[in-house]
Amino acid sequence: MTLTQLKHAPRAIALSLLVLSPALAYDDGDNTDASFRGLAVAIDRPLPASPRHRLRKLQAAWVELNYVVTADGRAIDPIIVNSSGGIDFENEVRKVIDSWRFEASVTGTELPHNVVETRFLMLGRGKGTTRRFARHSSHIMKNLHSGNVEKARDIADSTVRLGGWNLYESTILWLMLGRIEGEEGDEVEQLEMYQRALAISDERSLRRQGRMDLLEDIFGLQSGFGHYAEAMHTYKALAEVPGSDEVVEKIRPRAEEISLMLQNDSVLIAKATIANPCDCEEGAPLWSYTPARRIFSFANLSARVRKFEARCERQRISGTTVPDVKWTLDDDWGYCQVFVFGEDGASFDFLEHLREGGAIGKPDETAVAGTHLLDQKSRSQ
């Protein structure tokens, strides 16, 4: 399958989930869970509270936040990277980090790159899709099938604003929104919606075939935008799904092509668009990215792109996005993630360079594609 076919292959992931997935059963009670990644060692790290005054039975939410740990062990400078569920959940996560405490740094310096993914589940008696959500989703899919994408968009947007959806419903909603974005030709937003669906789902809300289809589509979109390190991580995640051999073989040629590109001396160009992932007032429009190389620069900047910050495990740097100025992430800084800030919708090219003297045909010593943060077990637990 060619790259063009990967990017534009039509799918009905949301519809297949609605038809094929069995009802989900929940127990009474509510739960907040979180996974932490980073070098900081926690002393006291209470979980966010559920905003119960705004919750409805069976509601689910998910928030991913990046934060810095100071030399004396405080959590500062939070960035909402992605979320699903609304402003109340985002605010609860932002609020609680002020009380987090970590061991003081042995080097006397901050640890800039730490991530928490928080999942809120407000449970109660009930099974599967509620009648209310079934009505909304049915109208969305009927309009999509009839070609009335604008009407499908209106219903989907109002469904998001209504909120109060459980884990299963939230997964399907983001999948449908991704399909709408694809029908409208906005692959940037399509990728964002699909990644959000993947992040909030679990093995009950997104079964094996649906997960394989979704990972395949995400891989195609990431590779089409030049997000090569992230595409290779998605490829690895797909390979780990039981029974995925056929799908993996189908996209293996593109994965091998990307591997060769990461190793040669050509400049890698990632297409970027800034968006606001946070509903909260403190949220800032941004683009976040896992670089495949340690030297980068910017080109074709919209006037609305303002600055960047690179957060690594042991160091962070920031600066203005001046065209053709190269920035280097030292090897001993560890895993890094780059955040670029500006106005919603601003675009630019993120260029990744091989270090001078790097050997063509051999893996760049600075490449981080094989050491994605999600592949590392938390050292803070």
pLDDT digits (tens, 9 = 90+) for 346-370: 999 999 998 765 433 333 344 443 3
Task: Tell me: pLDDT of 90 over 60.
Answer: yes
Q: Where are the domains of the chain?
A: 3-24+128-263, 268-375
Tokens at 132, concatenated: 């209310």
Task: Tell me: pLDDT of 132 over 90.
Answer: no
Domains 3-24+128-263 and 268-375 share a fold: no
Q: Per residue in 257-275, pLDDT tens?
A: 999 999 888 999 999 999 9
Q: Per residue in 172-183, pLDDT tens?
A: 999 999 999 999
- Name residue 69's amino acid: V
Class (C level, CATH) for 3-24+128-263: mainly alpha
**Which CATH architecture does the domain made up of 268-375 adopt?**
Sandwich (2.60)
Q: Per residue in 271-312, pLDDT tens?
A: 999 998 876 556 689 999 999 999 999 999 998 999 999 999
